[in-house]
Amino acid sequence: MIEVKNITKSFDGKTVLHDVSATFYTGKTNLIIGQSGSGKTVLMKSIVGLLRPEEGEILYDGRDFLKMSPAQVKSLRKEMGMLFQGSALFDSETVLGNVMFPLVMFSSMSHEEQLERAHFCLKRVNLVGAEDKFPSEISGGMQKRVAIARAIALNPKYLFCDEPNSGLDPKTSILIDELLHDITHEYNITTIINTHDMNSVLGIGENIVFINKGFREWVGDKDRIFTTANVALNEFVFATRLFQEVKDYIIANGKKYPDEE
Amino acid sequence: MLIIKSLEQLGRYTLFMKRSFGLPDKWSVFGKRTVQEIVKLGVDSIPLVIVISLFIGAVITIQMQLNISSPLIPAYSVGLATRDIVLLEFSNSILCLILAGKVGSNIASEIGTMRVTEQIDALEIMGVNSANFLVLPKIVAFIGFMPVLVIFCIATSFAGGWFVAAFTDLISVSRYIYGLQALFQEWYVWYGLIKSLFFAYIIASVSSFFGYTVKGGALEVGKASTNAVVWSSILILLFDVVLTKILLQ
């Protein structure tokens, strides 16, 4: 479980995150949603340590990330995996080389064991047969899957995904979402996904944190989101006619949801 | 304001170097990457060094012959002057200015692209000291291979002069060869090699710094690449003066 408590982050005197608190649960797909420029990427970068907030606490299963020594941070990082918006695969390495990288750097496995683990991870993301290709030779969806395979190679406890569906077609997006959801449950990982893709929100949003203008505006799940009275969230989630019609249909058919938080 | 900005930049460069010179996370990976960098930065530069040195060696020989041909000056002076120009300045300072363009822009654009495509962030998230992982092998490889490039440069420059002697009637081959050997000072070779090591460090570290600190996109990577070449060249010229003063006095 990752707990974020009263995080504040500013750039050049402009506050981007205001006293944000949230809890991200183990074994669940936790989503951070919000409009572009709302502060969700800053929140994720603060959680993983790429940015340092001025105030607040970030607790990884009770361990205060911001008070750790460099050695402790380095140790914690081996428990993290991250999927970047642009995949961030190493251009000079093959698909297999990318997945092998964390194993070569940080595991005590023999070369054969590393190969076996890398092949297992590639098989888990349904990417067999592309081992010798370079990132530039495979599609965007395949690149995301390689990045997921690399992220799970060391059996991370925490998985972070920044806009995993960015630039993908709807069908591939759903595949990636399902893969992330399945991996989260299969390995009991604390997964945090940064997204503004409504298909992801309604598909795998088991715990959703809505950030608006740097404030944590709403917390709930994919079911509660249909009945929320929060104006900003309604405007964001049901901005398109299609989603508004879906919402109206579901409410009109009398489906009951738990009360809003 | 300019002074403050320069000092800030110097401070950032110093901190960057401090991170770069930490102990590698895994020595076997460091060794493998260093060999790869030797091939990319050093071995791949040999053809350029040979072509440039061959022609410049020939040009220096022709110019020496045309400018110092006098009954009062011995004919072997052409070989002697060519040798000293090559040993003292061309094979180290001028060669490194040329390599700052090839190698410096290569390093800055490679690391800069890794920065803007979040590959460096990916390394950091994994717990890798990205500055050390990316930069130290380049510095070690380029400094280590620079003497080889300098020796290639010296040899092919002399060969360029030999071609002039052999295929024109400006100077005889025997006088050219005699001039190359006359009044030889071994220290000039060491002087050139020592200078080249400093310049190799400047090219590799300054270019890495500009690449590593890129913010933005492809346009900024291009600017970083240009800045890397410009600042490497300026620093090479500055240190050329300083090192010459120290080493030759």
Residue A9 to residue A17: CA distance in whole angstroms: 5
Whole-angstrom distance, CA of residue B235 vs CA of residue B249? 21
Of B26, B114, B118, the CB nearest to A105: B26
Backbone angles phi, psi at A155, to 5 degrees: 50, 65
A139 CB-side CA count, 13 A = 8
CA distance A204 to A209: 13
Cα gap B8→B121, rounded to integer Å: 23
Q: Do B118 and A85 touch (CB under 8 A)?
A: yes
Identify the H or E element spanning A255. Answer: none
Q: What pLDDT was estimated at residue A259?
A: 47
Query: What type of residue sits at position B174?
Result: S
pLDDT digits (tens, 9 = 90+) for A97-135: 999 999 999 888 999 999 999 999 998 888 888 999 999
Do residue A82 and residue B122 have CB atoms under 8 angstroms apart? yes
* Strand residue runs (E) in chain A: 2-11, 14-24, 29-33, 55-60, 63-64, 80-83, 158-162, 190-195, 207-212, 215-220
3-state class (DSSP) for residue A11:
strand
Note the maximum CA span of chain A: 59
* pLDDT above 50: residue B220: yes
Indicate the average pLDDT of chain B: 94
pLDDT of residue B236 exceeding 90, the answer is: yes
- What domains does chain A contain, in order, with CATH numbers? 2-79+156-260 (3.40.50.300), 91-155 (no CATH)
> How far A214 CA sits from the closest chain B CA (Å)?
23
Contact A104/B26, CB-based, under 8 Å? yes
Give pLDDT, residue A257.
52
Torsion of CA B150, B155, B157, B159, to 10 degrees: -170
DSSP label at residue A138: S
- The rounded distance, in Å, linking the Cα atoms of B86 and B191 is 12
Shortest CA gap B118–chain A (Å): 5
Q: Which range among A145-159, B163-177, B202-216 has the greatest average pLDDT?
A: B202-216
Interface confidence, given as ipTM, is 0.83
Are the beta carbons of B127 and A104 separated by less than 8 Å?
Answer: no
Q: What is the mean pLDDT of residues A195-221?
A: 89
A91 shares contact with chain B (CB less than 8 Å): yes
Q: Give the model's confidence band at B248: pLDDT under 50 very low, under 70 low, under 90 confident, else very high.
A: confident
Span A173-192, mean pLDDT?
90
CB A104 within 8 A of CB A114: yes
B11, B33, B16, B26: which is closest to B142 by C-alpha? B33
Interface probe for A, chosen from B27, B32, B125, B129 (most Cβ of A below 10 Å), is: B125
Helix (H) and strand (E) counts for chain B? 11, 0
Residues of chain A with Cβ-Cβ distance to B113 below 8 Å are 91
Average pLDDT rounded to a whole number, residues B89-99: 95
Q: What is the pLDDT of residue B104?
A: 96
Confidence of residue A254 (pLDDT cuts 50, 70, 90): low
Task: Give residue A108's pLDDT.
Answer: 87
**Structure letter (DSSP) for residue A119:** H
pLDDT tens, position by position, B65-87: 988 878 888 888 999 999 999 99
**pTM for the whole structure:** 0.87
What is the H or E stretch that residue B214 is in? Answer: none
B240 vs B41: CA distance, rounded Å = 22
Point out which residues pair with A218 in neighbouring strands. A210
